[in-house]
Amino acid sequence: MAGAAPEAGRSALEVTLSNREGSDADPEADHARLLARLHTMEEAAEQIGTTLDEQTTCAELSRFMCRHLCDAAAVDLLIEGSGTRPRSPEALRRVATAGLVKVLEARFPDEGPDGPAGGSASLRALDEGHPVTSAATLPGGRSAGALSVPLVAHDRRYGVLLALRAGGSFTAHETATAQYLARLAAVQLAQARRYDAVQRTAMDLQRALLAEPGRPHPNLELATRYLPSGGHALVGGDWFETVRLHYGRTLLVMGDVMGHGLDAAVDMNAYRSHLRYIASTDLPPHRVLRQLDAAVAGDESRRPATCLLARVDPARGIAAFASAGHLPPAVFSREGVAGLVHVPVGPPLGTGAGGYELVSRTLTPADTLLMFTDGLVERRGEDIDASLARLAGVRMPAGAGVTEVLDEVLLRLDGLHAEDDVAVLAARLRHHPGAGPAEPGAV
């Protein structure tokens, strides 16, 4: 490594100011140093913490350090549960490096032969809460200056920034700049972790609400899945439900509250509660939607929602459907061929408009009914008819069970990488000797 390597990546102004660091008697030099530092800080504010992903933030910090202050940089984060003042290097996990990575293999005078670069200095920085400078020996025997800076924000330690420079030490101005950069990154890490905590709370709430749908009658096989969208999207209001009715019938429900976040999850629970109460009166699906719409329309704080109901009657081999702005269900035959069920689409729930219609079709024990939210099929920039056609084109292995059908659909339509949350339900009639008599009268 050439002797000029420490200056590489630094502006001419910063190099000049660094060389004149000791000239305290020169007011113009001090002013120029201050301006250069302010310029670096402004640039850092735009380039560090551009996302809410902590690994990205750490990578941005290490790269910025190498562009302005050092030859190599690394960021080590505290392992969860290790405390804020760890006594062992094993409490730190390296998440980002930049620059001449081989330089990070340097050895420090107070470090054992197998310890990580800057291990003891990093622990001191974390324990004392301020930057620690030290010396190191690079591969090949050259000396280097090292700087360990704790990542501290709101009196909480998140990890440590390690910087190495071949052939020279860090000035007081450079150390102060590195400390500012570390604090800036720590603030971003704090925000990222708060965001993740809110996300986990919302996810846990929705999973808890969806974990215990009502149990269908034993004459119906059922499989369900809920897949949240990508890690940085807020949880949505997708939900499903089953309600036992008289005469061995089961009401299957698939709904989607508009919007995302905790409010959508809370509204989703309100819709479920209303629906359970109304469905217990054993009204046909279109009248259940009508009453649910009227009940929710009176509460202006509730978000609109789409909803699909399917009342399945195994004894008669009939399923009756009604839709409030929801996508149609699909039925897979014994041969594994899918067909969409044409269900007249009424207005979403919460509008107070009503106007829901009932449609019925036969359902045999060889058929598998699939109900889903739009996240399963919709793709950005694609017409919804094309999206539904892609689902209808899925072919199942002959004799596939309900769980196999559900898993295969999610696989073929790449549900794990959907742009929105996905809720999906698969159901099939099961012969059951103890089934009750059929309900008299029409469906």
- When comparing pLDDT for 75 and 31, which is higher? 75
When pLDDT is cut at 50, 70 and 90, the band that residue 208 belongs to is low
Determine the Cα–Cα distance for residues 177 and 37; give it in Å rounded to an integer.
7
* Per-residue pLDDT at 19: 46
Q: What is the mean pLDDT of the chain?
A: 83
Measuring CA to CA, how many Å separate 287 from each of 146, 251, 276, 283? 74, 13, 13, 6
| Per-residue pLDDT tens digits for 375-413 | 999 988 889 999 999 999 999 988 889 999 999 999 999
Predicted confidence (pLDDT) at residue 257 exceeds the cutoff of 50: yes
* Per-residue pLDDT at 351: 87
| Per-residue pLDDT tens digits for 326-364 | 999 999 999 999 999 999 999 999 888 888 999 999 999
Task: Output the pTM of the full model.
Answer: 0.60
Going 378 to 379 to 382 to 387, the CA torsion angle's sign is negative
| Per-residue pLDDT tens digits for 166-185 | 888 899 889 999 999 999 99
Predicted confidence (pLDDT) at residue 290 exceeds the cutoff of 50: yes
Predicted confidence (pLDDT) at residue 432 exceeds the cutoff of 60: no
Predicted confidence (pLDDT) at residue 136 exceeds the cutoff of 90: no
